[in-house]
Structures are given as structure tokens and as C-alpha cells.
Amino acid sequence: MFLNTLTPKFYVALTGTSSLISGLILIFEWWYFRKYGTSFIEQVSVSHLRPLLGGVDSSSPSNSNTSNGEADSNRQSVSECKVWRNPLNLFRGAEYNRYTWVTGREPLTYYDMNLSAQDHQTFFTCDSDHLRPADAIMQKAWRERNPQARISAAHEALELEDCATAYILLAEEEATTIMEAERLFKQALKAGEGCYRRSQQLQHHGTQYEAQHRRDTNVLVYIKRRLAMCSRKLGRTREAVKMMRDLCVFQLMKEFPLLSMFNIHENLLESLLELQNYADVQAVLAKYDDISLPKSATICYTAALLKARAVSDKFSPEVASRRGLSTAEMNAVEAIHRAVEFNPHVPKYLLEMKSLILPPEHILKRGDSEAIAYAFFHLQHWKRVEGALNLLHCTWEGTFRMIPYPLEKGHLFYPYPICTETADRELLPTVFHEVSVYPKKELPFFILFTAGLCSFTAMLALLTHQFPELMGVFAKAFLSTLFAPLNFIMEKVESILPSSLWHQLTRI
């Protein structure tokens, strides 16, 4: 009776409501997947429903007793997901802010700028800053979030004395041209050298003086590195190379761990490539492309560029497929595969398959942020070598055949870390940049399921509205078929059980 009393309008309302609800779920799931890289329903089910249903918690003691090999792999994954300062980061006032003025877009994320603020406090402050009034003001200035408040504090510190860190802040954030930034850095160098000489004489008088000398060393190295970068940007590349070589020697002589964070050799490699001094580039690579030192996209892709340079001008994929690869070509292809395995995001930027943006102030090694930072400065060097991009285009995808499961096992490096996408979304402006993800994620099951459900129910609603009588017949036939097994079971039960017992059960 219930099925016979249902009208076609009921079926239209039912299917239309189902289509609307599943469509809303589909839109939310798609938005959440694009923003966070995972399915909301899957995340909720794994995080909240699985423990309630008796699933094993990943943090339980039973899972804590892993093998030594797994522990080493986990530690390596954590170290590879460490965020590093970009050695070639741009100037805020002269470059990042100019981009904002022209486009109205913010090239830096809050997370990236917050990391820079922490770096500046580590590099430019120490416990003895209260002994010098200008340093005490700058200690507060580095913690300010408002750029204008930081600039005002730097001017206030300079009214008291020549303060190197105050000049640094003004050169980084207030200067609107590279020439103006260079002028301020030269003033900072003069003040910084005086502080360095004084603290050098007192460094053995106690831990307080030793910390002050360490801070003055960091300040001096930072100033000289930025001055070298100014020279490079203003076209005085040979002068920049000389300053960077001196800094590399100074970095090897000093045993301060913070100096290694600057990675000055990557600045040197880029400048030497600009001069096309490939012999010196090879010498620098021989020193820093060591198994005991952390790798970077600059190291791996520069090594690949040098080997590609030897064969790329005469390389032809048709000829190579007929006669096979020569020894030099095989070495070049292996170097490209090594570089692509380390950072698989770089080739799309070098081959201009993906648009570039301004590089962030911090990068994640093996991530999209490092790929952008490398390609932004080194694309011109690949274009300068005839045939290098053609060789890269023909061979880079062959890397993935050697590592079919990159998250589980690598070929020349550790497995690709799974945390890169999350960190890159924090470092890069996702408002106008689509973060590159490796390995490419398939759409979650629930997005496909809700898409199919929405399409199916929408089609049913449309058909029911257009052909109400025919769809009513189909709906009744479908429901009758669906309940047929249940009716069959009920009939069998009625035939087996005595009528009096069945009468009592129905009454209950």
C-alpha cells in the first residue's frame, strides 16, 4: 500500500535532494583535497573512527619497538624535511616588495617570514645585547612583526651609534633598489668589522664574550655574503666571485655551526656558471659533492649540467636509439637521473612546463620550494649550454622507471620524504601557485564515490521529472525486486512455524 500511494513527485524530491546533498559533499571534499592534499572523510575515519572501532593506534607501545633500520630511515626522513634558508634569497625591499607594488600579490607566506624572523634573532642577537643600547633596541626590533616598527627601531638604534645590524635591517627591508641596499651594507660592513675586531680580542675572557664574538662573526659573514650578492646582481660578477671565495675560506677556518647554514658555495657555483668558468665549477663540486655532506638541487643539477655539456650539442635521440648511448652520454644520463631522483620537481620548471614564481626565503630540500629557487636562478645557465635542455627533456622521465615506489625505496638516495607537500604548502603562496606534488596523488575514493552518486541521483531526478509514469513503474519494480528475498524468507517462515506461534510472535 505504501509503494502504491507514492507519487512521481516524491521520487523527484527524493532523487533531487540526494543529488544536492552528494553535490555539496563533493564540492567540500574537492576543496579540502586541493587545500590539504587528503580526503576529509578518510582523515576523520582514520583519526577518530578507527580508534573507536578498535583499530590500532600508531602511537601505541606495541608499534614503538621498530627495528634499527626503520629507525634510521625515520630519522633520515625527519632530517630531509628540515627547512633550510635559501642561499640565494632575494631582498625584501628591493625585490619582494617591488613585486607586491606591481602585482598586488604577496610573494612570501607568513610562515616563511616567521622563520626568517627566527633566523635573524639567532644570527644577530646574543645574551650580552643589553650591554650595548643599540643592540638592545635591535634585539626587540627583530621580534617585531610590523615592518614599519622594525625600520623605525633600526633608525632609533643608529641615532645612538653605528650599529651593523641596524644597517642590515634597513638594507634588507627599507632599500628599494639594489644600489641603495649595497650602500647600506657597506656602512654595515664598516661597523661590523670594528665590532668583530673588539670581540675577537675579548673572546677568551668568558662565555659571555665568546657568545658576543660568535654573534659578530655571523653578522660579518652575512654582510659580506649580501654584498657579494649585490655585486652579482649589479653585473660585477668577477668581484662577487672573489668575495665568495674569501667567504668560503673564512667558513672553513671558523668552526661555528651557524656558518654552514649560509651555504655560500651555492652562491659561488651560480656566479661561476654566469662567467662560464666550468673548470672552477667542477673544482667546487669536487669539494662539496661529497657523500658525507648534505645534497641539494644546486649540487646535483649542476653536476648533471656539466656532464650534459660534454655531449648535449651533438646528442640526437634518433641516433642514440639506433646505435646506443656512448660512455659520455651514459654518464650524462645517469647524472640527470641522479638529479631527478633527488628533486623530481625541477625538470618541469627548467623545461618551462610549469610557470615560475619568486623563490621563498626558505626552502625544503627535495621539495617544490627548492625546485623553484634553483630554476629561478639556473634556468639561464641551462639555456646557455646548447642541447642541454633537449637532453634533459628526452631522459628525465626515465628516472621513475628505476624507482617505482619512491616513498618506500630509493635508488641512489633515501626514499622520497612524504612530508614535502605539507611543508611546501606553508612556504609557497598557494593563492596563485599550484604546489607540485610527487608522487602524483590519485583522487581519493570518496571524491570519486560522491561524484558518481551525485551524477547518478541527478540523472534519476531529471528522468523522473521528464517521464514520471515510466520512472514510477521502474521504481516500484526495483523496490519489489529489492524486497523479494525478504518476502520469500517471510513466506518460508510462515509455512514452517505453527500458526499459533507465529500469531504470538507478531503480537510481540
Claim to verify: residue 362 and residue 473 sit in the same structural domain: no
Taking CA 70 as the corner, what is the angle to CA 68 and CA 74, rounded to the nearest 5 degrees?
115
pLDDT at residue 79 is higher than 50: no
* E strand or H helix at 362: strand 362-364
pLDDT for the residue 109: 92
Q: Which of 442, 463, 480 is the last residue of a domain?
A: 442
Asked, for residue 504, whether it belongs to a domain, the answer is no
Confidence of residue 292 (pLDDT cuts 50, 70, 90): low
Which has the closest alpha carbon to 150: 127, 180, 172?
172
Residue 119 has pLDDT above 80, yes or no: yes
Beta bridge partners of 315: none
Could you give the CA distance from residue 120 to residue 114 in angstroms, rounded to a whole number? Answer: 10
Final residue in a domain of this structure, among 262, 294, 325: 262
- The answer, yes or no, to whether residue 155 has pLDDT greater than 80, is yes
Which amino acid would we find at residue 264?
A: I
- Give the angle subtended at the CA of 69 by the CAs of 66 and 75, to the nearest 5°: 85
pLDDT (0 to 100) of residue 23? 77
The conformation of residue 385, written as its DSSP 8-state character, comes to S
Instruction: Report how far apart the first and last C-alpha atoms of the chain are (Å, whole number).
Output: 23
Domain range holding 394? Answer: 277-442
Higher confidence at residue 450 or residue 387?
387
**Rounded CA gap, 372 and 368, in Å?**
6
Whether residue 114 is contained in a domain is answered as yes
DSSP per residue, 21-66? HHHHHHHHHHHHHHHHSS-HHHHHIIIIIHHHTTPPPTTSGGGT--
Q: Give yes or no for residue 182 having a pLDDT over 90.
A: yes
Whether residues 301 and 450 fall in one domain: no
Residue 429 lies in a domain: yes
Q: Are residues 242 and 338 in the same domain?
A: no
Q: Which residue has the higher pLDDT, 406 or 340?
A: 340
Is 157 in the same domain as 107? yes
Considering the chain, what percentage of its residues have pLDDT values greater than 70? 80
Banded pLDDT at 68 (limits 50, 70, 90): very low
| Alpha-carbon distances of 154 from 30, 119, 148, 162, 341, rounded to whole Å | 47, 17, 10, 10, 45
Of 262, 288, 313, at which residue does a domain stop?
A: 262
Beta bridge partners of 85: 362
- In angstroms, the CA 469 to CA 229 distance is 78
DSSP 3-state percent helix, strand, coil across the chain (nearest 5): 75, 0, 25
Predicted pLDDT at 16: 74
**pLDDT score, position 236:** 93
Q: Are residues 219 and 186 in the same domain?
A: yes
**Residue 206, pLDDT above cutoff 50:** yes
H or E element: which one contains 85? strand 83-85
Cell of 313: 650539442
Residues 209, 324, single domain; the answer is: no
What's the gap between Cα 263 and its chain centre? 19
127 and 238 share one domain: yes
Over range 304-327, report the average pLDDT.
85
Which DSSP letter does residue 165 get? H
The amino acid that residue 412 corresponds to is L
Task: At 365, give phi and psi (nearest 5°).
Answer: -60, 135
In a domain, 402, yes or no: yes
Block residue for cell numbers 507519487: 7
Q: Three cell numbers at 117?
A: 624572523
Give the chain's mean pLDDT. Answer: 81
User: Are 433 and 469 in the same domain?
Assistant: no
pLDDT at 60 over 60: no
Residues 417 and 449 placed together within one structural domain of the fold: no
Which pLDDT tens digit goes with each residue over 367-394? 999 999 999 999 999 999 998 999 998 8
- pLDDT over 80 at 117, yes or no: yes
Neighbours of 262 (CB within 10 A): 19
Q: Taking residues 339-353, report their average pLDDT.
A: 92
Helix (H, G, I), strand (E, B) or coil at 471: helix
pLDDT higher than 70, residue 164: yes
User: CB within 8 A of 175, min separation 6: which ones?
Assistant: 91, 93, 94, 181, 183, 184
**Does any domain span residue 80?**
no
pLDDT at 76: 43
Burial 80-108 (b: 16+ CB within 10 A, else e): bbebbebbbbbbbbbbbbebeeeeeeebb
- CA dist 342 and 160 (Å) reads 49
Residue 238: band (very low, low, confident or very high) from pLDDT cuts 50, 70, 90: very high
The answer to whether 230 and 182 have CB atoms below 8 angstroms apart is yes
Among 51-65, 191-205, 409-423, which is the least confidently predicted range? Answer: 51-65
Residue 109 maps to a domain = yes
**Residues 286, 250 share a domain:** no
- CA pair distance 411, 372, nearest whole angstrom: 24
CA distance 303 to 282: 8
HEC-encoded secondary structure of 323-350 = HCCCHHHHHHHHHHHHHHHHCCCHHHHH
For residue 58, is it within any domain?
no
Are both 323 and 419 inside the same structural domain?
yes
The verdict on residue 68 lying in a domain is no
Question: Looking at this protein, which amino acid is placed at residue 308?
Answer: A
Amino acid code (one letter) for 244: M
Task: List, for residues 239-282, the tens digit of each pLDDT value.
Answer: 999 998 888 776 655 555 556 677 888 999 999 999 999 999 99
Per-residue 3-state assignment (H helix, E strand, C coil) for 401-451: HHCCCCCCCCCCCCCCCCCHHHHHHHHCCCCCCCCCCCCCCCCCHHHHHHH
- 87 prior amide bond cis, ω within 30: no
pLDDT tens-digit series, residues 80-116: 578 899 999 999 999 999 999 999 999 999 999 999 9
Residues forming a β-bridge with 363: 84
**Residues 289, 429: one domain?**
yes
* Higher pLDDT, residue 368 or 475: 368
Nearest in space to 185 (alpha carbons), one of 200, 195, 198, 170? 170
Query: What domain count does the chain have?
Result: 4
Q: In whole angstroms, how large is the CA radius of gyration of the chain? A: 32
Is residue 84 helix, strand or coil? strand
Q: For residue 508, what pLDDT band results from cuts at 50, 70 and 90?
A: low
Helix, strand, or coil (residue 492): helix
Q: Give the pLDDT of residue 36.
A: 64
| Cell numbers at 121, concatenated | 634573532
